[in-house]
Structure 1
Amino acid sequence: MVSWAITGATRGIGLGFVKNLSMDPNNQVFALIRSLGTAGPLEELAAQRKNIYIIVTDISNPTKLDEAAAKVSKVTAGSLDVLILNAGSAGPDTAVLPPSTFHGKKEALDLEIGENIKNNLLSNIYTMNSFLHLIRSGAEKKMIFISSQSGNLEFTRITGFSTLLGYSVSKAGMNMAVTKFATELAPEGIKTLALSPGWVNTDAAKAVTGDPEIRKVMLDMFHKVDPKVDGPAPIEEAVANMLRVIRNLTEADSGKFLTHHGDEEQWF
């Protein structure tokens, strides 16, 4: 059996991973979530598929993460094949502001950067460290960070995407952390990857691009990178593409930041 742990598994891409992977009875799927309060669809799925294990934890708390890893270990006899770091946040309302507008707004800037660093960088490093001993004993030995094209310098430069300051900085920072883990752990055969899902039709994406005017602005920017993009991809399609990249990950690509197509150019 192949064991998978996915953070942020109550909805969106995280739930998409759980749905896809749990269709194969040879997979053990551990859904790491913050609360059962919003986990209705996940619980319904777990009631139908006995290879899904729901674990409530707090990825900002290393002690809670160690406890979650211990729960996984009891099921897998001390191993984990693939860890998918999907949980994250776009941060506070100030995400809509470009960087220059924070002049004279120190508290707002501290919050914009600090909240994103805590949610998208530190929490993911905590998670990787808590589950690393299980990955060391796994067969696949893979740790995957679900990043964003917003954390890519060239994408940002070409599109002119000046907002989402803290989110983009934290994603870019975590991309570097993934590379640091890759260089450290390569002698053990452990592979890491930062992976962009593309533009995906999640609730979070709908909240940003649901307004027709905002959607047009986004498309105008995205067309500078890919003139053919016409909207977000279904979650199922994005997850299938990412799993293809994850399964094909080799030591040669460990530590890279790749798109859901497995390259460094096709962001959509």
Structure 2
Amino acid sequence: MPSWAIVGATRGIGFEYVNQLSSDAKNEVFALIRSQKTAGPLNELAASRKNIHVLETDIGNPTKLKETAGEIGSIGGGKLDVLVYNAFFHGDSAELSPSAFAGREEELENYFFEPLKVNVLHLIHTVNAFLSLIKKGMERKIIYISSPSGDLEFNRVSELSTAVGYSISKAAGALVMTKYASELKSEGIRALSISPGWVETDAAKDLITSPGAFEVILSTLRKYNPNVKGMISPKESVESMLSVIKGLDESTSGKFLSHKGNLEWF
């Protein structure tokens, strides 16, 4: 029975991963969340599908993560096939460019380092905590949900000068995954950074609440791809990503790909 751990499974893309994977009774799905307070829909789904296990954990606490790995090992026979790290932190001041922080140095430190904690440091904590389980799995795959914001060429072509902390942290996270791919290649473990596309999630909607924000984002994305029409559904995004993950092998391990399996981010 293939086993999957989805980090950040309460809503949006993470929830959709749990939903699609658990629809196949052959899959064992571990939904890792920060708090039960916002896990109502997830718990409802888990109540109807016995192959879903909802576990609270703290990705910033290596000791707690190791305890969670122990729980997964106990339930899943001491192994884990695929780890999907979907947790992320965007941060405030997303509308500011680097020079806009002149005279706002303290704000810059918070804005810069907080995304790095979740999107990079906690990623490493999480992978390290589950690595012994992955080594015993059949699939042996580690997946990092990233963003085109972390791609240098996308930033250059789209002229995206804002979202500084988030973009830098996502680029750093992708590099971490490349290093894992190199380190673990000889053990048959594959690592991949993958962008879900522009997905209609609550987090995405939060960024377009101001008048005209959607048009501004759309015009930015169209500098890179003139054919972008709007956001895609979590269902479409996850279906596409699962297809890419299924095909992940030594030739693509360590890469940063789109949900289409290439560099077409949208």
- TM-score grouping bracket, smaller chain normalisation: over 0.9
Q: Paired residue for 1:158? A: 157
Q: Residue 193 of structure 1: SS of its match in structure 2?
A: strand
What is the TM-score when the length of structure 1 is the normalising length? 0.98
Structure 1: distance between partners of 2:28 and 2:210: 39
Deviation track 1:95-116 (CA, whole Å, cap 9, x = no partner) reads 2211101112221111011101
Structure 1: distance between partners of 2:209 and 2:139: 39
CA 1:227–1:212 in 2, change beyond 3 Å: closer, same or farther?
A: farther
Structure 2 residue 128 is matched with structure 1 residue 129? yes
Structure 2: distance between partners of 1:37 and 1:219: 34
Q: Paired residue for 1:168? A: 167
Q: Paired residue for 2:74? A: 74
Q: Residue 253 of structure 1: SS of its match in structure 2?
A: coil
**RMSD of aligned alpha carbons:** 0.8
Structure 2: distance between partners of 1:196 and 1:71: 29
User: How many pairs are equivalent?
Assistant: 266
Q: Paired residue for 2:7? A: 7
Q: Paired residue for 1:244? A: 243
Structure 1: distance between partners of 2:103 and 2:205: 32
Q: Residue 14 of structure 2: SS of its match in structure 1?
A: helix
What is the TM-score when the length of structure 2 is the normalising length? 0.99
Structure 2 residue 214 is matched with structure 1 residue 215? yes
Structure 2: distance between partners of 1:96 and 1:221: 13
Q: Paired residue for 1:178? A: 177
Structure 2: distance between partners of 1:155 and 1:3: 34
AA partner of residue 69 (structure 1): A
Q: Paired residue for 1:194? A: 193
Q: How much has 1:210 moved relative to structure 2?
A: 4.1
Is the deviation greater in 93-102 or in 20-29? 93-102
Q: How much has 1:211 moved relative to structure 2?
A: 4.0
AA partner of residue 184 (structure 1): E
* Structure 1 residue ranges, 4+ long, deviating more than 4 angstroms after superposition: none
Q: Residue 80 of structure 1: SS of its match in structure 2?
A: coil
Deviation track 1:221-265 (CA, whole Å, cap 9, x = no partner) reads 11111111111000000000000000110111000000000012x
Structure 2: distance between partners of 1:69 and 1:133: 9
Q: Residue 83 of structure 1: SS of its match in structure 2?
A: strand
Q: Which runs of 5+ in 1 are unaligned?
A: none
Counterparts of 1:4-153 in structure 2 under 5 Å?
4-91=4-91, 93-153=92-152
Deviation track 1:15-69 (CA, whole Å, cap 9, x = no partner) reads 0100000000000000000000000000000000000000100001100100000
Structure 1: distance between partners of 2:161 and 2:20: 34
Q: Which runs of 5+ in 2 are unaligned?
A: none
Q: Residue 89 of structure 1: SS of its match in structure 2?
A: coil
Structure 2: distance between partners of 1:235 and 1:149: 17
Q: Paired residue for 2:255? A: 256
Deviation track 1:75-104 (CA, whole Å, cap 9, x = no partner) reads 11110000000011101x222211101112
AA partner of residue 102 (structure 1): F
Deviation track 1:138-189 (CA, whole Å, cap 9, x = no partner) reads 0000000000000000001111111111111100001000000000000000
Q: How much has 1:212 moved relative to structure 2?
A: 4.8
Q: Residue 84 of structure 1: SS of its match in structure 2?
A: strand
